[in-house]
Structure 1
């Protein structure tokens, strides 16, 4: 097995692009509907209700609604159906996986000495903020640009004498040295030049700083683009709640966040022109982002007969993250000294680019909730949340000045509306819900609005309850293939469906 070397590169030399940083901010600032089956069956409209483990991750006061100590565990099946369009060509990919979505326990302490405080609750809940399992595939003939434009962007301004491989150097040697001395841009220039994707304007001068793609894109290039992501954003919630007299519930959460995100992107390009110098290219990038974060929440619920009013505040989440990147390039090219021979070049440096630790501060969330309970027959609930994505920040500030400016200019405040209902027939409960989530982007296209609905049922055995939910959401997005050079977009319509099963026990 080949040895994989680790190279540490500062954020300034990373130069992956500000748009990627914006994508990171949106990804780690987005919380999907996850958790217990009852919560998901009502589309998460639980801010004024409580009495559910996922409910107190929205409003911490919800734990004080529990009448008895309780524990719950939840299993979910995630399914992503992606329809893609790329230069008029269409493709589909549909995949699913199982995941342990939630586990929690809450302890209820009654009969307190102070009669004004009816009970105190202590709870712990673990659940996914988001599941990053997703794959899509796009294929089509690009008539405007190609992979040569990506490498050309980074090569322009780089001296040929710096990026050219010296006699006796291996691909690993050159890639490591360039990363240490000149950074990410020089590494990309090396891959493009040594992979015969780009040509220098003056190949005989070490001082050459101008380049052009070694492909004729006038007739277009056939592209296959594969993206595979996996991982999770998991939240560990430590809760304390209390009921004051008969009408007020209060709560506080301290949250620990765990991030594990893996992304593999592969572009396969075949220029249409048979006389093109570049005949074939396969460029892979494997990104691994990991780290942790911390946040807190406070909330309250007021009860007046059947009416419930809730309000909660979730602080920003302060993440500390690390990025690692592995790259590889394979090409077929026409030997400039022969009109017949097609040669192969494989560059796999076996180097992990480990970039300097950085911080992301996600925006705060304010939620207002209303619910009405119709005795023992059922209930209806509504939540409204707002999150200003433009308030997100990347740090250190000096390293991300341009990126933070773009975040402020391109992102906006986004509202989320959730409505849910439940109808009880003896020990059975029938549930349903709807949610609408606005795009965090001002253009409304990079990531579109989200629409979702949910259905579910439950059965209460007395000391045990079994709940089942189905939820579906649909959202469009238009990610760029790369952040520079080859910046054409793939139009994606994503349909996410989940089947969730929860089992809870009174202690």
Structure 2
């Protein structure tokens, strides 16, 4: 059904925001993406070069190339989710094919009498995170969605939630968003949708009770997200004499994220009281767009003929973010009376700033002549440093405090190896990423394994790789602590093929 939306531009002071700790993690995390050689060694490239995706690990890597190259990768991404919700289990699977990586490096040789014997310029596009996720799960709960609306409503005067003679649903929903904020809009939906009722019919009343009877509820939760976090890197690097490589990345970032959720519940056994609500359908749409900037500094040093050492500093990413939301609530009474509270309003939130944490990475690689190598990276990221801005906003101050208490320093370790047999290369890797949360039930540690093959045809290289990883996490409907979470056990796998051409 086509709908004509009005625009509610939230431009006044107060709690106008809807951001959460989930957003802090979603936009800060990164996944393993890149060329097949990079994936085949689990991304352990901080002390190595010779691969376009190594630039994302250490910008000095491009100066290791002997010749100019161009590369493109295609990726097949597969997710298998085992879901638990209110004691019931379900399964979801998705598959997609997209462009995994594209880029090139131009190498320029210096004069033999100069200490800067070589420099390089590179351009690389890489997906930082893929947001695609889709599942439907359900179960029998003893907790109703009414808890969400009660939490938002208690403390809000009844006068704000009642329609005036010349007002409709869209008018008051828009007015509350413009002048008060998100919580007031949620309370309004619950009150007008007959989920909650005021304790007293008094404009100054600030306490509410539920119109949903106690009992059990057949709940269903629908979750669909799409989008990605992408990074375009402009790289410059140089080789100093024959033992040191130095590099700089200037990174342009973008975020596209769309999320639709719907939580529905049907009371398993209600009375015939027409004032009792027996069914609730509550839908929410979120659209987020952002653009940002970061930089990376890196160095690779030869410590003898067989050892390479690397270090990379990844700056915070400074994002400008734009969000808009829309909602609807539909309810049925025990006698079948239908109520729809659909404001047909798009809430356009004020632009805000978001800052991810910085990352420090130390790397070491051992080379065995032309036969192969072993490489390892150790990265440290303090997710408690995530910041929503402006810091002068009271809601962001509270949210940033909650992030610093909830999230923590999270080390990540990668190790990979490559063995060469003439033109054929065999690769394998392992990676470990610690949970960024103090409570690891929110998101568990991640373990991943990879393997790959490559063949050198001379001026052309063809590489393939397979990688799989597993982690568990909790997804809370409506980002609310008063509702039970969905527990997700995810197996994520990808198959990558890369073509590299010497220029």
Aligned positions of 1:120-131 closer than 5 A: 120-131=119-130
Match for residue 311 of structure 1?
Answer: 311
1:413 and 2:412 correspond: no
Alpha-carbon distance, 1:221 to partner:
1.4
Match for residue 448 of structure 2?
Answer: 452
Match for residue 8 of structure 1?
Answer: 9
1:163 to 153, 161, 164: 161
Pick which of 221-230 and 123-132 moved more: 221-230
2:379 to 371, 385, 404: 385
Provide closer, same or farther for how the CA distance between residues 286 and 114 of structure 1 changes in structure 2, counting only shifts above 3 A.
Answer: farther
Match for residue 200 of structure 1?
Answer: 198
1:359 to 353, 357, 367: 353
Provide closer, same or farther for how the CA distance between residues 504 and 12 of structure 1 changes in structure 2, counting only shifts above 3 A.
Answer: farther
Alpha-carbon distance, 1:168 to partner:
5.0
1:97 alignment partner, SS class? strand
1:233 and 2:229 correspond: yes
1:186 alignment partner, SS class? helix
Alpha-carbon distance, 1:497 to partner:
0.7
Contact 2:147 / 2:483 at 8 angstroms: preserved in 1? Answer: no
Alpha-carbon distance, 1:171 to partner:
2.4
Match for residue 341 of structure 2?
Answer: 347
Alpha-carbon distance, 1:162 to partner:
2.1
Pick which of 412-421 and 179-188 moved more: 179-188
Alpha-carbon distance, 1:169 to partner:
3.3
Aligned positions of 1:4-153 closer than 5 A: 4-10=5-11, 12-14=14-16, 16=18, 20-112=19-111, 114-143=113-142, 145-153=143-151
1:180 alignment partner, SS class? helix
TM-score by length of 1: 0.94
State the distance in 2 between where 1:125 and 1:359 align. Answer: 25
State the distance in 2 between where 1:167 and 1:280 align. Answer: 28
Contact 1:149 / 1:485 at 8 angstroms: preserved in 2? Answer: no
Count of paired positions: 495
Contact 1:431 / 1:457 at 8 angstroms: preserved in 2? Answer: yes
TM-score by length of 2: 0.95
Contact 1:153 / 1:485 at 8 angstroms: preserved in 2? Answer: no
Contact 2:14 / 2:179 at 8 angstroms: preserved in 1? Answer: no
Alpha-carbon distance, 1:130 to partner:
0.7
Match for residue 263 of structure 1?
Answer: 259
Provide closer, same or farther for how the CA distance between residues 114 and 6 of structure 1 changes in structure 2, counting only shifts above 3 A.
Answer: farther
1:396 to 364, 385, 390: 390
State the distance in 2 between where 1:409 and 1:419 align. Answer: 31
Alpha-carbon distance, 1:88 to partner:
1.2
2:50 alignment partner, SS class? coil
Residues 91-110 of structure 1, C-alpha deviations (whole Å, 9 max, x = no match) = 11111111112110110001
Contact 1:316 / 1:362 at 8 angstroms: preserved in 2? Answer: yes
Alpha-carbon distance, 1:287 to partner:
0.9
1:438 and 2:434 correspond: yes
Contact 1:216 / 1:273 at 8 angstroms: preserved in 2? Answer: no
2:160 alignment partner, SS class? helix
Alpha-carbon distance, 1:3 to partner:
2.0
Stretches of structure 1 lacking an aligned partner (at least 5 in a row): 335-340
Residues 268-317 of structure 1, C-alpha deviations (whole Å, 9 max, x = no match) = 11122322711111111111111111111111111221211111111111
1:428 and 2:424 correspond: yes
State the distance in 2 between where 1:457 and 1:387 align. Answer: 31
State the distance in 1 between where 2:280 and 2:17 align. Answer: 22
Contact 2:354 / 2:387 at 8 angstroms: preserved in 1? Answer: yes
Pick which of 160-169 and 175-184 moved more: 160-169
1:208 alignment partner, SS class? coil
Provide closer, same or farther for how the CA distance between residues 488 and 116 of structure 1 changes in structure 2, counting only shifts above 3 A.
Answer: same
Residues 401-429 of structure 1, C-alpha deviations (whole Å, 9 max, x = no match) = 11111111111111000000111122111
1:30 alignment partner, SS class? coil
Contact 1:69 / 1:506 at 8 angstroms: preserved in 2? Answer: yes
Match for residue 327 of structure 2?
Answer: 327
Pick which of 376-385 and 163-172 moved more: 163-172
Match for residue 207 of structure 2?
Answer: 210
Stretches of structure 2 lacking an aligned partner (at least 5 in a row): none
State the distance in 2 between where 1:410 and 1:208 align. Answer: 34
Contact 1:260 / 1:291 at 8 angstroms: preserved in 2? Answer: yes
Contact 1:130 / 1:233 at 8 angstroms: preserved in 2? Answer: yes
State the distance in 1 between where 2:359 and 2:176 align. Answer: 43
1:176 alignment partner, SS class? helix
Alpha-carbon distance, 1:201 to partner:
1.5
Alpha-carbon distance, 1:184 to partner:
1.7
Alpha-carbon distance, 1:485 to partner:
6.3
